[in-house]
Amino acid sequence: MKKLLPIAVSLAALTAMNVSASTLEDVQSRGVLKCGVSTGLAGFAAPNDSGQWEGLDVDLCRAVAAAVLGDSEKVEYVPLTSKVRFEVLKSGEIDVLSRVTTWTFTRDASLGLNFAGVNYYDGQGFMVPAALGVTSAKGLDGASICIQTGTTTELNAAEYFKLNGMTYEPVPVETSAEGRQNYIAGRCDVYTTDASALAAQRSVFEDPTAHVVLPEIISKEPLGPVVRHGDDQWLDIVKWSHNAMLNAEELNINSKNLDERAANAKDPAAQGLLGSNEAKLGAMLGLDKKWAYNIIKQVGNYSESFERNVGKSTALKLERGLNALWTNGGIQYAPPLK
């Protein structure tokens, strides 16, 4: 027995060793990006009629895949509930989490995660049936409120009602479908979640005009992609995939005009981004020269992605608002490509 133990122990020690290559190498050798998304939220991540995933969050996954693998279709979407999302990311089952996740101090500081930017600036709002005649959230004292659990939403609601000296009955719901059912049946008077998600929910109601979103926005909800701690290169890649889309919009480069812009030698900023001059932006990230070109070509710039998924022509009908570029009065502001 004495001779057996060391063998077994060393064997166990071997299996316990963590052979972790960089996420970039993992993704490239696998040939597919694993991206955690919502279980189905119109405009952000939901499968369309032909089963293809679509949405603002999905476009971020596609942008990273285009930058890293040169093909925006090489993504494996992993639908996750709000409850399991961080654990799945931490355990390495996915490479990036792009799932309407609010960037908060606690999450950033204590969960072993890093936020790689903000792809949608949101805020929590309230939706009520128009027939109720309520015009302000201040008039909701004593109401029953449907709240999706496991989010920052319930904290904001608790805080808001406490601050304003009002009472309410929280009705916790696990999924948006369950929330809709409770709200329509009148189990709750009010539905509260991020304003963008309220718009998404309202868009699938039988009569969207019978419901109003109250003017109060009670919280800051910067939603963005998340990666694991400890792989700075990968953090940079995800961060700059998003920033490339913003910079492209700012430079007025889109999926239609990019070949023309890339060929124009008098346009160094565009050429640098698109990798058609001597600038080696891609190499600094450990990527191909055409990383950003692939993103813009296959996914489009931020404006194209926004309008296609949640903008005026979609069922969600969201304004750019805070999400307009800083040059247009919004706060979407990408650091310069220098």
Interface residues with other proteins (CB under 8 A)? Answer: 1, 3-5, 7-9, 12, 15-16, 18, 82-83, 86-87, 90-91, 106-107, 110-113, 140-144, 149-151, 154-155, 157-159, 161-162, 168-174, 178, 181-182, 185-187, 189, 228-230
CA 102 to chain centre: 9
Q: Which residue, 171 or 212, has its beta carbon nearer to other proteins?
A: 171
We find the least distance from the C-beta atom of residue 303 to other proteins, in angstroms, to be: 33
- CA quadruple 34, 39, 44, 46: dihedral positive or negative? positive
239: enclosing H helix or E strand = helix 232-250
Pairing state of beta strands 168-173 and 96-97?
unpaired
We find the least distance from the C-beta atom of residue 103 to other proteins, in angstroms, to be: 14
Distances (CA, A) of 70 to 11, 233, 247, 289: 40, 18, 19, 10
DSSP state of 335: P
We find the least distance from the C-beta atom of residue 154 to other proteins, in angstroms, to be: 5
Residue linked to tokens 């009670």: 218
We find the least distance from the C-beta atom of residue 224 to other proteins, in angstroms, to be: 17
We find the least distance from the C-beta atom of residue 184 to other proteins, in angstroms, to be: 9
Q: Which residue, 157 or 270, has its beta carbon nearer to other proteins?
A: 157
Q: Which residues pair with 122 in a beta bridge?
A: 221
Q: Which residue, 113 or 285, has its beta carbon nearer to other proteins?
A: 113
Q: Which residue, 95 or 189, has its beta carbon nearer to other proteins?
A: 189
We find the least distance from the C-beta atom of residue 95 to other proteins, in angstroms, to be: 15
CA distance 307 to 82: 26
Contact present, 44 and 309 (Cβ < 8 Å): yes
Q: Which residue, 2 or 266, has its beta carbon nearer to other proteins?
A: 2
Tokens of 233: 């290169």
Contact present, 325 and 250 (Cβ < 8 Å): yes
DSSP conformation letters of 186-234: TS-SEEEEEHHHHHHHHHTSS-GGGEEE-S---S-EEE--EEETT-HHH
Q: Which residue, 79 or 170, has its beta carbon nearer to other proteins?
A: 170
The SS3 of residue 46 is strand
We find the least distance from the C-beta atom of residue 7 to other proteins, in angstroms, to be: 6
Q: Which residue, 175 or 277, has its beta carbon nearer to other proteins?
A: 175
